[in-house]
Copies of this chain bind each other. A is one copy, B any other.
């Protein structure tokens, strides 16, 4: 049976409307490219590239911000984003121990694709730990995979439907003791789009909540012996031209969406949000819809976007679970997918109709 997204399954999270694709690629210009490596018994890894636009990002940087909710994580480049307020490379997501080789490959990408030898460059690489299913120490993601992922993201392929589940950097990941990986979603507000993509590798089984229903407690699926309690990478894109400070505050609301899926952001989690804007339209350009009321009329306009990012994050996480498939990997470790029939059963019990 083909895996469906949460919304195809009849689960509608939140109240705002998704964009056309219900994906981060609804934000104009944003591309996503996955390279998935599944070989033999022990290689279950890959890399995902998110490109804010298809051009040379070093030359046309994008305004950005980072929230490090719990920084037990190896992501590269984030402190510079916090201080400079811009991103100057694609964002790459991968398995923990690939992190630095992927970052290094980004240098080569700039040289080979743009015939420009960077003297300095701040590659943004996010990671979660796929070591239960993947031979992480093997560091199987190579330069060519990084190139391919970025090329895909920049090409037309990267602008359309985003594959979810066991793909790209998300290939070996575990979410709430079930098969996790990549998920995405988006929300619209007054022609503004907020898109989110997650690499889900966190949460304990018993804590899983789907749209308010405590599914984790009710599920009857074997749990992996290890790999619960890990990390999540959350990428947020919007086409509203915000400042870095505003994006930072926006990014913090992703944690609200994360919380609603059941995570407690464990001690050993690297729970990071990276937000950027591709837009040129500012809040001021929506003046007619802005009711000045007190403090900072303009900034109040952000409230619906806070909701949008929380909803999109929650749905992206649930999408990762809905799309990921049971996987066996290194040491014959196995992680099971979210079983649709059980979800249906549990939802009924909790008075939620699924259409």
Residues of B within 8 A of A77 (CB): 74
Q: Which of B79, B101, B249 contacts A100 (CB 8 A)?
A: B101
- Residues on B with C-beta less than 8 A from A78 are 79
Most buried by B among A74, A77, A88, A252: A74
Give chain B nearest CB distance to A278 CB in angstroms: 17
Mark each residue of chain A from 78 to 110: 1 if its CB lies under 8 Å from any CB of chain B, else 0.
111011111010000000110111011001000
Residue of B nearest to A272 (CB): B79
The listed residue (B75, B88, B296) touching A79 by CB distance below 8 A is: B75
Stretch at the interface among A19-27, A129-137, A164-172, A318-326: A129-137
Kindly identify which residue among B68, B76, B209, B352 contacts A83, using a CB–CB cutoff of 8 Å: B68
- Given known contacts A96-B120, A107-B137, A259-B260, A300 and B243 CB-to-CB distance under 8 angstroms: no
Q: How far is the CB of A240 from chain B (nearest CB, A)?
A: 14
Tell me whether A73 is interfacial, beta carbon within 8 Å.
yes
Contact call B123/A119, Cβ cutoff below 8 A: no
Q: Is the pair A86, B351 in contact by a Cβ cutoff of 8 Å?
A: no
Query: Which of A118, A212, A264 has most B Cβ within 10 Å?
Result: A264
Q: A252-B265, A264-B303, A264-B306 are in contact. Are A72 and B68 (CB under 8 A)?
A: no
A72 touches B76 (CB 8 A): no
A238 to chain B, nearest CB (A): 15
In the complex, what residues of B have CB within 8 A of residue A114's CB? Answer: none
- Say yes or no for A285: interface residue by CB 8 A criterion: no
Interchain CB contact under 8 A, B71 and A84 = yes
Residues from chain B with a CB closer than 8 A to the CB of A139 are 104, 107
Q: Which B residues are CB-close (under 8 A) to A107? A: 97, 137, 139
Query: Which residues from 232 to 256 on chain A have a C-beta closer than 8 Å to any C-beta of chain B?
Result: 243-245, 249, 252-253, 255-256
Tally of chain A residues near chain B (CB < 8 A): 82
In Å, the complex CA distance between A131 and B71 comes to 31
A129 interface neighbour in B61, B120, B245, B265, Cβ under 8 Å: B120
> How far apart are the CA atoms of A76 and B75 in the complex, in Å?
8
CB neighbours (8 Å) of A253 from chain B are: 264-265
Distance in angstroms between the alpha carbons of A265 and B307 in the assembled complex? 9
* Cα(A130)–Cα(B286), bound, Å: 30
A66 to B, closest residue via Cβ:
B79
In this assembly, does A268 line the interface, its C-beta being within 8 Å of a C-beta of chain B?
A: yes
A71 touches B61 (CB 8 A): no
Contact in complex: A123, B104 (CB < 8 Å): no
Point out the residues of chain B lying under 8 angstroms from A260, CB to CB: 259-260
A148 to chain B, nearest CB (A): 19
Distance in angstroms between the alpha carbons of A72 and B111 in the assembled complex: 21
CA distance A119 to B127 in the complex (A): 13
List 8 A-B pairs, minimum CB-CB distance, nearest first.
Answer: A259-B259, A71-B83, A212-B212, A256-B259, A100-B100, A351-B351, A100-B104, A350-B351
